[in-house]
Amino acid sequence: MRKGLRKGKSEPRAWQRMLSGRRLDLLDPSPMDIEVEDIAHGLARVARWNGQTVGEHAFSVAQHSVVVEEIVAHVQPDIEPRWRLAALLHDASEYVIGDMISPFKAALGYDYKAFEERLETAIHVRFGLPAKTPAAIKKLIKQADRACAFFEATQLAGFTHEEALSFFGAPPAGYVLHIEPLSPGQAQERYIQRYHVLSEAAGFAPVPAAFDTE
């Protein structure tokens, strides 16, 4: 037997080491192993549209998430800060699993969805949110997500206005967005900043800028 090999088949590694030093079990994620700095770092380096966008920088999931939170507040200005935080974190699981396009998610089926839901639950528990987002809030976040996708599609990904309308629907009335993709470092910083503001506003973690939820 070659040196270093054990008898029998060893179990495959099912955890990922984060830059914070945490080891996240991908099959059974613990909220205690999730840090916002790891999420922000990862999302700022995950490209929307598999990177098939114009510009010097990819449009990151981190920047997308900040815009989605902003759209949620535009659609429902009186929404509670905790649900704005939920909007910011709506794609947080992608810091581990990446941003898979919808057709690929559908092809992977239920197992992928169950894996994604376990990770989303752990993230919500870690940051003080209900494990399951209420249906009405989830619908609102999805509306904002599709609105952001409309602007991304037409400005960055080469879709015509008509194509984007057919796939994502029209954006909310009165909301206009001009996208300028940020560098990974800028997107990471903005995501963390927004997290701290909303977390404090929701009563979870104190920071000086708590009053600023706009």
Confidence bin at 13 (pLDDT 50/70/90):
confident
How far, in Å, CA of 45 to CA of 184, rounded? 6
How far, in Å, CA of 181 to CA of 187, rounded? 8
pLDDT at residue 15, as a whole number: 87
pTM score of the predicted model: 0.86
Q: Give DSSP secondary structure letters for 136-154.
A: HHHHHHHHHHHHHHHHHHH
pLDDT at residue 105, as a whole number: 57
Average pLDDT over residues 37-64: 97
